[in-house]
Amino acid sequence: MSLNAELFDPLTIEYLERLGVAAGWHVLEVGAGMGSIAVWLAERVGPGGRVVATDLDTRDLEALAVRGLEVRRHDVLVDEFPDGSFDLVHCRGVLVHVRDPDRALKRMVRWLRPGGWVLAEEPWHDVGLLSPDPVAARAARALREDQGMNTDFARRMPAALRAAGLDGVEGEGKLTFFQGGTKPASFYRFVLRGAAVRLVASGALDRTAVERMTARFDDRDWLDCGWPRIVAWGRKPS
């Protein structure tokens, strides 16, 4: 199991169960990554259901060979599905990366059957700007300034679901603190080092400062929070 799956799958599964995913459902998993949630969904909907797992790079998905799981290379802003194809469309950590997340949501809603659900989960990166460590805050700013990242989208995601035409929209957030030397610390160290690369390359941040910032993630006496995880869902009118 990947570190991403180990850290984030349990909460995803909790919300999928709350929505009542059941045998026979047709489900679209957008940006399925390595496929752990797609596999769980395929087992949940059973032989009478259908799970379509999409991504821009499907090599990991194609290696799964799970019964009832269809893999498709698919761009959520470009490629189509027939209207009314799915009982559920789920995505996690996808909308922060697409150039027009509002349009992506509207397309997902169109692919839903009446009464079907959209469940979306995204990290709210902008909270990192409030870090008491100026180096960490500048690393968060690097993410914000990256034109390929919508670091503020998670905050307005519930409103975006409603604007896309869903009813009964709800949203929740989960903020977790973690200790240095743990698996969550390893995850955030990896991501922040990547964000800092641009600052080092541009000369805005020296390499020594980056090394000092990331060294804390191995310090058992250090405690900090990650990005809040915003989860929002809504239902297509019947």
58-95 pLDDT, tens digit each: 999 999 989 899 999 999 999 999 999 999 999 999 99
Give the CB-side neighbour count of residue 226, counting CA atoms within 13 A: 25
CATH no. for 3-235? 3.40.50.150
Residue whose tokens read 């290696």? 63
Q: What is the pLDDT of residue 55?
A: 97
pLDDT score at 37: 98
- What pLDDT score was predicted for residue 133? 81
Q: By CB neighbour count within 10 A (0-12 exposed, 13-18 middle, 19+ buried), where does 59 fall?
A: exposed
Domain boundaries, the chain: 3-235
- What residues contact residue 220 under an 8 Å CB cut-off, 6+ apart? 179, 180, 181
* Confidence at residue 208, expressed as pLDDT on a 0 to 100 scale: 86
User: Per-residue confidence at 132, pLDDT binned at 50, 70, 90?
Assistant: confident
Confidence at 147, pLDDT banded by 50, 70, 90: low
pLDDT of 146 above 70: no
In this structure, the number of other CB atoms found within 10 A of the CB of residue 105 comes to 27
pLDDT digits (tens, 9 = 90+) for 98-125: 999 999 999 999 999 999 999 999 999 8
Separation of alpha carbons 184 and 198, rounded Å: 23
| Chain segment 191-211, per-residue pLDDT in tens | 877 777 777 887 767 788 788
- The mean-pLDDT minimum among 70-84, 150-164, 208-222 falls in 208-222
Closest C-alpha to 29, from 20, 42, 19: 42
Question: What is the pTM assigned to this prediction?
Answer: 0.92
Residue 130 vs residue 199, higher pLDDT = 130
- At residue 220, does pLDDT exceed 90? yes
DSSP string, 125-174: GGGGGG-SSHHHHHHHHHHHH-TT--TTHHHHHHHHHHHTT-EEEEEEEE
pLDDT average, residue stretch 2-8: 92
